[in-house]
Chains A and B, each alone.
Chain A
Amino acid sequence: MGELTAMAIIIGIIHSGIRLATPYLFAALGETISQRSGVLNLGTEGIMLMGAFFGFYVTFVTGNPWLGVTAAAFIGVLMGLFMAVVSVTFQAEQGISGIGLSLFGLGVSSMLFKTMLGTVEGVKGFSELQFCITGTFCLANIPVIGDIFFNHSILTYAAFLLVPIVTYVLNKTTWGLKVRAVGQNPEAADSLGVSVNKMRYAAVMLGSALAGIAGASLSISLLGIFQENMTNGIGYIAVALVYFGGWAPLGVMLGALLFSSVNALQLWVQVLSLPIPSDVAVMLPYLLTIVALAIPFRRSLQPAALTKPYERGEN
C-alpha cells in the first residue's frame, strides 16, 4: 500500500507542478518579451490581478471563459500601455513605476471586486481536457502518463505551446530582431531607422497582455474563483523567473516548472502533515528564488539597455 501511495503522491506532485506552472509561464514569457526590449515591467503583479478580475467577471456574467480570457488580455494591453507611457515616453524610473502599477492593480481589482461582486463566487471556467479519441478511450485515462500529461486545462497547454512560439518570434522574425536590438543597443537600432519607443511600446503591451491572461488562468482555470490579492506575489516571481531563465523562453519554462514543482511539493508537505513546519514548506519556493538569482553567470545574458530609457543624441 505504501508504494502505491508514494506513486500517487509523485504523480500528484508532477501533475500539479505542470498545472501550477500555467500562470508563472504566461506572466514570465510576457515579461521576457518586455525585458528583451529593454523595459523591466514590475507591474506584472498588478496586471495579473486586473486580468484575474476581468477574466473572472466576464466569465461569470457571460458564462463563456473564452470571452473572459479575451477581456483579461485586453485589460493587460491597457495596463501595458499605461506602463509604456510612463516608463518609455516619460522615462520614469522603471522599478518605481512598475511597483506603482502593481499597487494600482491591487487596489483597483480589490475595489471592483467589492463593488461588482461583493462576495467570493465560483465560475465554471475551462475544464480539464480528456483527449478522448473514441467515446470510451481517452488519453487522460492512460495510467501515469495520462494523469501527468493529458489532464490539464487548455490554458495550461497554451502556456507551454507559447514557449516555442515566443522563442521563434524573438529569434526568427524581423519583429523579434528589432525587439532584441532595442533592448541591447537602442542607438544602433535608431541609427537604422528602427523606432525604439514604438518597439518598446509593442513589447510591453504584448507582454502585459500575457500577464493579463496569466491572471485569468488563475481565476477561471486553476481556481474558478476571484479573491482579493489572489496572485499573492506570482507576478514578482515571474519577473525573477526571467532572470533565472537567462531571458530565454526555454530557460524561463524550466524555471517555472522547478518553481511550481517546489510549490506543489510544499502543498503536499502540508497535506500529508509531514513533520516539517508548514511555514518552512511555504518558504521553500521563495528561498529557491533567492538562491537562483544569486547565481552570477546569468547577468551577462541581461539585455544591455534593460531599465534604460532611450533618448537620441545623448553623446
Chain B
Amino acid sequence: MSEKNNLLPSGLPRIESLEMRGIVKKFPGVLANDHVDFDVQAGEIHALLGENGAGKSTLMKILYGLYQPEEGEILLNGERIEIHSPTDSINHGIGMIHQHFMLVDNVTVAENVALGLKSSKGMRLDLDVVSARIRELADKYHLQVNPNAIISKLAVGERQRVEIVKALYRGAALLVLDEPTAVLTPQEVDDLFVIFKQMAADGHALIFISHKLNEIFALTHRVTVLRDGKLIGTVNTSDVTKADLANMMVGREVLLTRDRQPRETGEARLVLENVNAFNDDGQSVLKNISFEVRSGEIVGVAGVSGNGQRPLAEAIAGLQKVENGRVLMAGSDVTNFTPAQMFDTGLSYIPEERMHDGCIKNFSVAENAILQDYVRPPFSKGIFLNFKAIASHAQELIESFNVKTPSQETLIKNLSGGNIQKLILARELAREPHVLIAAQPTRGVDIGATEYIHGQLLRQRAAGLATLLISEDLDEVKAMSDRIVVLYGGEIMGIVKSDEVTIAQLGLMMAGERADEVFAA
C-alpha cells in the first residue's frame, strides 16, 4: 500500500489498531473493569455492549484519559502508549462523541471547535481559519455544518454533526461513539449511520457504545459484550443473533418480544379536551391536546425529547397549569387539581426523573414506599406513623415486585436504577389506580428489569388499567402500546394504532409531519 492510501480524508494518518489489555479499574466498593481486553482496527465499527453499570463507559473514559486504570495497558499500532488526560488521547488521534453533547451552547460552531486549540494568530482567536477548515472537513465527510451557527439554535441531529466535526478537526482517526443515537429521530439515526459507515470505509476506527440491539446489527462488524465489569466475549456481529447478544449481556434467557394480546377496551378513564399549557417563559408547550385512554388500553406517547411529553404528563398529574381545555377522570372535570387531589381520583404517576421527582434519595426503601399514602391508615393514626404497617407494606412490595435491596431500611439511592424503578412501579400499582402515567419507565434500566416492568404493565392492562406510556424509546412504544399519540412541538401529529404504523412512519411524524401527510405518501 502506498503512503497516500494510509491517510484519512482529513489528511491525517490512520490508527491501524488499538488494543486495551487487562484493564482493571476499581471504584469504592465496585470493580468497574475486571481485566478487560478490547481491540479495534482501522475500517472497523466495533460495538461495545452491556447494561448500565457493566463497565462500558468506564473503559472508554480510560481510553479517553478521563480515568486512570489500576492495571492494564493500551497499545496503539502495537506500541504501548500512556494516556493521562483527554489532551493525551486527542494527541494520539482518539476522539470521543459523548452521550450528552459536549458543546457550549451560547457560542458558535466555530468557537466550539476552536475551544482549547492553539490559534494561528497567537492570543487572538482565528475563527476565519477555523471556519475554513470546518467547511473543508464538512465537504470531505459530507457533513452539513455551518461554522457560524449558534449551537442553541441547532437541532440535535445538527449538534451531533458538530461533535463529529469537532473530533475530526482535532485529527481523530479513532472515534468513540457513546450512545450517539439516544436523542435522534429514526431518520436522523439513518443519516448518522450513513456517515459512520462512510467514515469506517475511509479508514477510521469506530467504537460504538450502545444497548440497542437493532443498531448494533445495522452498523457494526464486531461486538464486545461486558457484564458486571467483566469481558464476556467478542464476536463477529454476523455470527450471532439478537437473542445471543441479549443472553450474553444479561447472563440468562431474555424475552425480547412483548406478548401483547388483543383485548377489548372498556370505558374512557382519562380524557383530555383541547388542553393548552405554557412554560415559565410564556411559550406554548401544549397546543390543543385531545385524546382519551380507555380501560384495558396502553396509549403510547412518542416524540423526540422536549416536544411536550413532560408538560403533558405534568398537566395530567397536576404539576403544570392547564390554561385552556379540560382534563377528565372517569367523566368528571379534574382540570388543575393539585397532585394530592389527582391521586385521590385514582391517578398514579411514574415521573420521568426517577431520582428527582419519583423518590427521595436519602429516604429508606420503606419510607419511599409510602410517599403519597403516609397520611392514610393503616400507615398513620392521627399524627403518628404506624411503623409496623409501613414495614409490612414495604416487605410486600419488595417481595411481589422482586426488588433487590439489602433491606427495607436501605437508603433508596444505594439501589440500582432498575430496582428503584421497580419499587416506584410497585408503589404506584399497589395503590390500585384507575389510570397510570408511566413516563420513561425503562430509561436507564437494565434489560432484565425492563422485561419485568413491561410484563407488569401488560398484566395491569389485562386487569383493566388505563395506561399512558410516555417514552423516547420507539421500539418500546411500538411494542407496548395499543395506540400511539405522536407529539411534535407540543402538538399532536396523529393518533395511530400501533399495529398499523411502521417505525419509519412514526419517525416522520416525530419530525413534524402530520399523520395524513405521512399516510398519503
At the interface, yes or no: B125 with Cβ under 8 Å from chain A? yes
Alpha-carbon distance A61/B266, docked complex (angstroms) = 92
At the interface, yes or no: A152 with Cβ under 8 Å from chain B? no
At the interface, yes or no: A136 with Cβ under 8 Å from chain B? no
Contact of B87 among A178, A193, A304 (CB under 8 A): A193
Question: B106: nearest residue on chain A (CB-CB)?
Answer: A184
Contact indicator B115/A178 (Cβ below 8 Å):
yes
A174-B118, A181-B115, A185-B105 known; A313+B66 contact, CB < 8 A: yes
Contact of B125 among A174, A181, A193 (CB under 8 A): A174
Question: B113: nearest residue on chain A (CB-CB)?
Answer: A192
- Choose the segment among B96-104, B335-343, B407-415 that binds chain A (4+ C-beta atoms closer than 8 Å): B96-104
Contact indicator A188/B118 (Cβ below 8 Å):
no
At the interface, yes or no: A306 with Cβ under 8 Å from chain B? no
Alpha-carbon distance A190/B86, docked complex (angstroms) = 8
Q: Determine how close the nearest CB of chain A comes to the CB of B392; give it in whole angstroms.
A: 37
B96: chain A residues at CB < 8 Å are 191
Count A-B contacts at CB 8 Å: 75
At the interface, yes or no: A180 with Cβ under 8 Å from chain B? yes
Contact indicator B123/A191 (Cβ below 8 Å):
no
At the interface, yes or no: A147 with Cβ under 8 Å from chain B? no
Q: Determine how close the nearest CB of chain B comes to the CB of A166; give it in whole angstroms.
A: 14
A173-B123, A177-B115 known; A191+B86 contact, CB < 8 A: yes
Alpha-carbon distance A280/B251, docked complex (angstroms) = 76
Contact indicator A178/B106 (Cβ below 8 Å):
no
At the interface, yes or no: B111 with Cβ under 8 Å from chain A? yes
Alpha-carbon distance A225/B460, docked complex (angstroms) = 80
A190: chain B residues at CB < 8 Å are 86
Interface residues of A in 188-214 (CB under 8 A from B): 188-194
Alpha-carbon distance A184/B87, docked complex (angstroms) = 20
Contact indicator B115/A313 (Cβ below 8 Å):
no
At the interface, yes or no: B116 with Cβ under 8 Å from chain A? yes
Alpha-carbon distance A184/B106, docked complex (angstroms) = 8
B104: chain A residues at CB < 8 Å are 180-181, 184-185, 188-189
Contact indicator A172/B124 (Cβ below 8 Å):
yes
Q: Determine how close the nearest CB of chain A comes to the CB of B451; give it in whole angstroms.
A: 25
Question: B123: nearest residue on chain A (CB-CB)?
Answer: A173
Interface residues of A in 157-196 (CB under 8 A from B): 172-178, 180-181, 184-185, 187-194
At the interface, yes or no: B85 with Cβ under 8 Å from chain A? yes
Contact indicator B107/A192 (Cβ below 8 Å):
no
Alpha-carbon distance A303/B67, docked complex (angstroms) = 27
At the interface, yes or no: B61 with Cβ under 8 Å from chain A? yes
Contact indicator B116/A178 (Cβ below 8 Å):
yes
A172-B125, A173-B123, A194-B116 known; A188+B103 contact, CB < 8 A: yes
Contact of A194 among B64, B106, B107, B115 (CB under 8 A): B115
Question: A187: nearest residue on chain B (CB-CB)?
Answer: B102
B98: chain A residues at CB < 8 Å are 187, 191
Alpha-carbon distance A312/B67, docked complex (angstroms) = 9
A193: chain B residues at CB < 8 Å are 85-87, 90, 116
At the interface, yes or no: A315 with Cβ under 8 Å from chain B? yes
Contact indicator A174/B67 (Cβ below 8 Å):
no
Alpha-carbon distance A188/B113, docked complex (angstroms) = 11
Alpha-carbon distance A173/B115, docked complex (angstroms) = 10
Contact of A188 among B61, B115, B124 (CB under 8 A): B115
At the interface, yes or no: B119 with Cβ under 8 Å from chain A? yes
Question: B89: nearest residue on chain A (CB-CB)?
Answer: A193
A313: chain B residues at CB < 8 Å are 61, 66-67
At the interface, yes or no: B114 with Cβ under 8 Å from chain A? yes
B87: chain A residues at CB < 8 Å are 193
Alpha-carbon distance A192/B162, docked complex (angstroms) = 14
Contact indicator B125/A192 (Cβ below 8 Å):
no
A172: chain B residues at CB < 8 Å are 124-125
B166: chain A residues at CB < 8 Å are 192
A174: chain B residues at CB < 8 Å are 114, 117-119, 123-125
Q: Determine how close the nearest CB of chain A comes to the CB of B113; give it in whole angstroms.
A: 9
Question: B97: nearest residue on chain A (CB-CB)?
Answer: A191
Contact indicator A192/B116 (Cβ below 8 Å):
yes
Alpha-carbon distance A190/B124, docked complex (angstroms) = 21
Contact with B along A16-47 (1 / 0, CB 8 A): 00000000000000000000000000000000
A315: chain B residues at CB < 8 Å are 100
Question: B101: nearest residue on chain A (CB-CB)?
Answer: A188
Question: B98: nearest residue on chain A (CB-CB)?
Answer: A191
B101: chain A residues at CB < 8 Å are 188
Q: Determine how close the nearest CB of chain A comes to the CB of B160; give it in whole angstroms.
A: 14
Contact indicator B102/A192 (Cβ below 8 Å):
yes
A192: chain B residues at CB < 8 Å are 86, 90, 102, 115-116, 166, 170
Q: Determine how close the nearest CB of chain B comes to the CB of A63; give it in whole angstroms.
A: 36
Question: B27: nearest residue on chain A (CB-CB)?
Answer: A313
**A181, A191, A304, A313: residue with the most chain B Cβ atoms closer than 10 Å:** A191
A188: chain B residues at CB < 8 Å are 101-104, 112, 115
Alpha-carbon distance A306/B123, docked complex (angstroms) = 25
Q: Determine how close the nearest CB of chain A comes to the CB of B276; give it in whole angstroms.
A: 22
**B111, B114, B125: residue with the most chain A Cβ atoms closer than 10 Å:** B125
Contact of B102 among A176, A178, A191, A304 (CB under 8 A): A191
Contact indicator A173/B125 (Cβ below 8 Å):
yes
Interface residues of B in 116-166 (CB under 8 A from A): 116-119, 123-125, 166
B117: chain A residues at CB < 8 Å are 174
Alpha-carbon distance A315/B355, docked complex (angstroms) = 13
Q: Which 10 A-B pairs have the closest CB atoms?
A: A193-B87, A188-B102, A192-B116, A194-B116, A191-B102, A185-B104, A193-B86, A184-B104, A181-B104, A173-B123
Apart from the given pairs A187-B100, A304-B105, 11 other A-B contacts in the complex at a CB distance below 8 Å: A173-B124, A174-B123, A174-B124, A177-B111, A177-B115, A181-B107, A184-B105, A189-B104, A192-B86, A192-B102, A193-B87
Q: List 27 A-B contacts (CB under 8 A).
A: A174-B123, A174-B124, A177-B107, A177-B111, A178-B116, A180-B107, A181-B107, A181-B115, A185-B102, A185-B104, A188-B101, A189-B104, A189-B116, A190-B86, A191-B86, A191-B96, A191-B102, A192-B90, A192-B102, A192-B166, A193-B86, A193-B87, A193-B116, A304-B105, A304-B106, A312-B66, A313-B61
Residues of B at under 8 Å CB distance from A? 61, 64, 66-67, 85-87, 90, 96, 98, 100-107, 111-112, 114-119, 123-125, 166, 170
Residues of A at under 8 Å CB distance from B? 172-178, 180-181, 184-185, 187-194, 304, 312-313, 315
